[in-house]
Amino acid sequence: MAKFLIIRFSSIGDIILTTPVVRCLKQQLPGAEIHYLTKPSFRFLPDSNPYIDKVHVIGKSLLHTLAELKKEKYDYLIDLHHNLRTLICKSLLDADAYTFNKLNFEKTLLTRAGINVMPPVHVVDRYMQAVAPLGVMYDGAGLDYFIPELHEQLFKKSVYFSLTASPYIAMAIGAQHATKRMPLSKLADVCSNIPLPVLLLGGNDDASVGDQLAERCGSHIRNLCGKLSFDESACVIKYAQHVITHDTGLMHVAAAFNKPMQVIWGNTVPEFGMYPLYADNNLQSATYHEVQISCRPCSKIGYAACPKSHFRCMTEQDAQKIAANACGIYKK
């Protein structure tokens, strides 16, 4: 029986994107034992995955953690992060190692010179290439997101579940970097043009913006930012009729639940290969909203502020089109 350690330290969206590798390894290699190494703050994601047998997190230090992991005697190490720390993991753990192509040169060429030589493949395809030598192939089943049954039952007993009783749109207003987020004024334009209830999702840092949107746009806007766990936010996505999102982790949750969505792209672009991945046999799809200007993409991750100071990639988004598309009434 082969024993695997999959490594992905962060972040939420990236870990969700590794779920096809986990599933395919478990289903296609009989008797495979799957372990997963990540940061403590993201442990809840692999913990809920039924295809993973054991979860490890970085403890006092990476070296201390690796000393403990060496006792596991892994046969294979699957590196889906590919950085200096995973290089250390591969050098200290006595296991055959497989790594995906991060395409850093191609991404740098696109962001700095505007030259696009990115291969037209999703990052999941590149993750799957890492395990292809083991005879494991992508099954076309898309992403997985597993909400623990207890968490979902608790959500259904909470006051927030009542907000999901009628058709609504889930709107993820947050993102790790400011240049991935629409400004307050543009978010308000979108919300004001949606007649359906809108449930705002985000973290503590987004709560103030959510409060301002609810105050500006009316009682149909309900701010849940900072009030829900990530699993509870995933529940809101699961029961939504439609999702509006930036390039962030909840975008991948929506794809895992086969939700139609509007994706608003700012400084990043789908060409990086991190766009929503649906299962092959699912009919839902995502509509992309991009402002075509020469300075995009300016970063493969994001900035605290627009490096050109104009932030046109977000301030020139068509709010009416986003709102109408979400309600299914847009006509070209």
Query: For the chain, which domains are there?
Result: 3-134 (3.40.50.2000), 152-326 (3.40.50.2000)
Q: With 60 as the cut, is the pLDDT of residue 230 above it?
A: yes
Q: With 90 as the cut, is the pLDDT of residue 72 above it?
A: yes
Q: With 90 as the cut, is the pLDDT of residue 19 above it?
A: yes
Helix (H, G, I), strand (E, B) or coil at 311: coil
Mean pLDDT of 42-71: 96
The amino acid sitting at 272 is: F
- SS3 breakdown of the chain: % helix, strand, coil, rounded to 5? 40, 15, 45
Spatial distance between the Cα atoms of 189 and 318, rounded to a whole number of angstroms: 9
Q: What is the pLDDT of residue 60?
A: 85
- Residue showing tokens 């010179």: 113
Average pLDDT, the chain: 96
Q: What is the pLDDT of residue 282?
A: 76
Mean pLDDT of 76-104: 96
Cβ atoms of 221 and 187 within 8 Å: the answer is no
Spatial distance between the Cα atoms of 129 and 102, rounded to a whole number of angstroms: 12
Query: If pLDDT is split at 50, 70 and 90, which confidence band does 332 have?
Result: very low
Q: What is the pLDDT of residue 329?
A: 64
Q: With 70 as the cut, is the pLDDT of residue 131 above it?
A: yes
What sign does the CA torsion over 13, 15, 17, 19 have? negative
Query: If pLDDT is split at 50, 70 and 90, which confidence band does 331 have?
Result: very low
Query: If pLDDT is split at 50, 70 and 90, which confidence band does 284 have?
Result: confident
